[in-house]
Structure 1
Amino acid sequence: MVDAVGGHSADKTPHIATASFSSAPHRIPQMSYTITVRVFQTNPNSGAYFRIVEQTTFRSGDGKNEWNLIQGAPTISFGFSGSSGALRFKSDKTNEPFIVVLGVHNYKRWCDIVTDPTPLQTAMAINEEYYGGGGRDRCRERQNASCNTTNSRGRKITVNYSVADGNCLVADVIVG
């Protein structure tokens, strides 16, 4: 990247021109994001307890994304907008899988749910489909703060961002 006086930094760090048009390097601040996931299972009498069996991240660019367990809640951290993560849930008793995909696109949150994925449709494979013309791009671009669907067995699954704005987001996954 070129600064206001046409110079390049040795490490390719972008320069921001100041009022005096100094070529001194100033780093452009990156927006970091976290999404904390709270899981609510509202029908304990069904005997189907869902647990996370896979977690994955996808990033656009060179940011660092990672899942951590913070105060018992899965939390994904992104270096910047253009990133996402997916959680694959499965019930050992009923063998029902579903995938929740959460991310930030153009500085706004988004979410989606994929029910009844096949064994080959891992969270990693599904997460990549939201980028580069993979077929799920429109969902990411809509930037919805909530979504819900029903799986083939009639179980309702909902994702709702209870904190939908800012950099520290909270997404509630509700399994009926």
Structure 2
Amino acid sequence: MIVTDRFRLVPAAYVLLLRDGPQGTEVLLQLRAGTGFMDGFWASAAAGHVEDGESVHRAAVREAAEELGVVIDPADLEPLTAMHRTQATGLPVDERVDFFFTCRRWSGEPRAAEHDRSEGVEWFPLAALPDPVVPHERQVLAWLAGDAPVPAVAAFGFDADGARPRLDR
């Protein structure tokens, strides 16, 4: 039996490439362009939907190869946080679960490999991020830069009581 009336989430994998720089830990970000979502914002240099039949780890490795031209061993992916988020539109496509990984080891020189979807990549100190950054990603990067532990599971876009904001407000 196929169930079609249950709540659905779109899973995505994010890879935050990190390195040590002169001003502390740096993260590689990509300037979004031509995607139709948050174009003109800085974002994780490698991120995308988990495709049918692949694990989130495989998706992370695939996205890093497709978007940055780098090869990552899945063993080098460090789980950072899982974020349940909503755009509060009520549309299934806007209900997400994002899996964030950090990575400090890869093969190849990171570059913007999808020129029709990016205006380039650049390294930034975690303490001095550019503006604007995609809001839910900025939150994860702020946690990563802070002194407190990054939450293992987080929510974004929900009311203080954990409910999705009502659409009629």
- TM-score, length-normalised on structure 2? 0.27
- TM-score, length-normalised on structure 1? 0.27
Return the structure number with greater helix share: 2
Higher relative contact order (CA 8 A, sep 6+): 2
Larger-Rg structure: 1
